[in-house]
Amino acid sequence: MSASSGAGGQIRADGAGPAPRMFRVPTGVRLFSLFGVVILAAATAIMAIFAALGFGMQWPLGLFMTAVAVFIGALTGYVWRDLSGKWSLRVRLDADAATLDLPAGRSLIHRPPSRHLVVPYADIAAIDTRLEAYGSLGMEMMQRSYVLRRKNGELIFLFEDRALAAGLAKPMFAEIASDLAARAGVQMHDLGMVEGKGGVLGVWGTHAPDWAAPSLPLARQMQLWRHSAYTGALTLAVIIIAFAIRMIFGG
């Protein structure tokens, strides 16, 4: 029987149980990341050319342009890693086991190794999930991570939903994680919220808390949720203003 990408719990035509299901990151999301990589790679190449020309005029100008090219190049690598994680991530749920194709780029902060394995449902003890807050330069970002806990104690990082509470993204993985737990007959364990280090813009110098870290007090959780919401509102406002300026002055 062919795989189904519909809602969890879909029943097979013979009534024998849930139909097989294949999950991939939506095509639009993957193409958007690809577009970002192309734009940043082109910008890096252009800045590298400007740097070479700058050294021919004044070395301070060339040095500045080189620094800009290096910065954009580093961002290109970051977005490329995100693209690789979204493009090749696959989860297939069959009758008795889950086939997991998990690239390294599925998390930009935890940095788990790539995993390609088949996990029988009988080996799954639980699906753990928690909220993670990361602050950087006065901003806050919130994400939800999911981990498969095997009965032998092994933890397998599955995936993460990012930009929560900011109005910038819709959670993609909650449903497939719930379906996996249901088919395995185990619980989804909500471990609360933890706070990690966001480094510089959530790109460099980040650090995720250990998976066994205790949950934050409720008051701190509410404070981080509000801060993340403010960050999202500010980001949306900047985008709207930029578009308005372009429409007014761009002709």
233: three-class secondary structure by DSSP: helix
94-148: pLDDT as tens digits: 999 999 999 999 998 998 999 999 999 999 999 999 999 998 777 788 899 999 9
CA-nearest of 124, 125, 128 to 190 is 128
Mean pLDDT of 197-215: 84
Please tell me the predicted confidence (pLDDT) of residue 6: 41
134: three-class secondary structure by DSSP: strand
User: What are the boundaries of each domain within the chain?
Assistant: 29-84, 121-245
**CA 40 – CA 53 distance, rounded (Å):** 20
Q: Is the pLDDT of residue 16 over 90?
A: no
pTM value > 0.85: no
The 8-class DSSP code of residue 22 comes to E
Percent of the chain topping pLDDT 90: 53
**CA 246 – CA 235 distance, rounded (Å):** 17
CA-nearest of 154, 146, 131 to 216 is 131
CA-nearest of 154, 157, 155 to 103 is 157
- Angle CA(247)–CA(249)–CA(251) in degrees, nearest 5? 70
The 8-class DSSP code of residue 200 comes to B
Which residues does residue 156 pair with via DSSP β-bridges, in sequence order? 148
Mean pLDDT of 30-45: 93
